């Protein structure tokens, strides 16, 4: 039975790479936990997200943390399942369009194009960055702080917000 052989998971040749990946995962997890205790005021965190910016020579719209579509996008990238390995266009499509799965290949292409534009928007604002040599994106440390704070503020009631002031 020749042909393809499944690589052994017990090999030592990639031990260094596994340790490196494990270290990066631990660092991202620690950074995510650190956002819980961030004392930066919300206005300071969100000020640049609410303004237009430029990316690759083009003007990019502001993010609106009160608009339902932008909130859905921020909630999607803030999911725990994307914390370790990041996310792809396909992953975001499954979350953002879960209530309207594509019926045709044209619809799949349209949804994919929309998610590509949204990824560009998030990259322009520094919320996410591309993982080199992959099709994946990671939420940046600064982005994680901003997104976590905005989503927490959306869940807080008036009494909780007034206590913080």
Q: pLDDT, tens digit, for every residue of 8-60?
A: 556 667 777 777 777 777 776 666 555 555 666 666 767 777 788 888 889 99
Per the CB < 8 A criterion, the answer to whether 77 and 96 are in contact is no
Q: In the chain, what is the straight-line distance between the N-terminal and C-terminal CA atoms, in Å?
A: 71
Phi/psi for 53 (5° steps) reads -140, 175
At 75, list the tokens.
């909630």
Q: Which of 141, 87, 75, 144 is nearest to 116 (CA)?
A: 87
pTM over 0.85: no
């Amino acid at each position: 039975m020749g042909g393809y052989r499944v690589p052994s998971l017990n090999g030592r040749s990639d031990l260094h790479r596994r340790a490196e990946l494990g270290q990066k995962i631990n660092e991202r997890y620690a950074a995510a936990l650190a956002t819980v205790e961030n004392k930066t005021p919300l206005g300071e965190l969100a000020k640049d997200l609410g303004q237009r910016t430029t990316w690759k020579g083009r003007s990019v719209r502001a993010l609106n943390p009160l608009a339902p579509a932008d909130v859905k996008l921020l909630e999607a990238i803030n999911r725990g399942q994307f914390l370790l390995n990041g996310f792809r266009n396909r992953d975001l499509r499954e979350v953002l369009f879960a209530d309207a799965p594509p019926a045709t290949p044209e619809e799949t292409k349209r949804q994919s194009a929309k998610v590509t534009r949204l990824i560009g928007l998030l990259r322009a604002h520094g919320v996410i960055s591309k993982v080199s040599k992959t099709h994946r994106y990671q939420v940046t440390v600064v982005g994680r702080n901003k997104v976590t704070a905005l989503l927490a503020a959306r869940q807080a009631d008036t009494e909780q917000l007034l206590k913080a002031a």
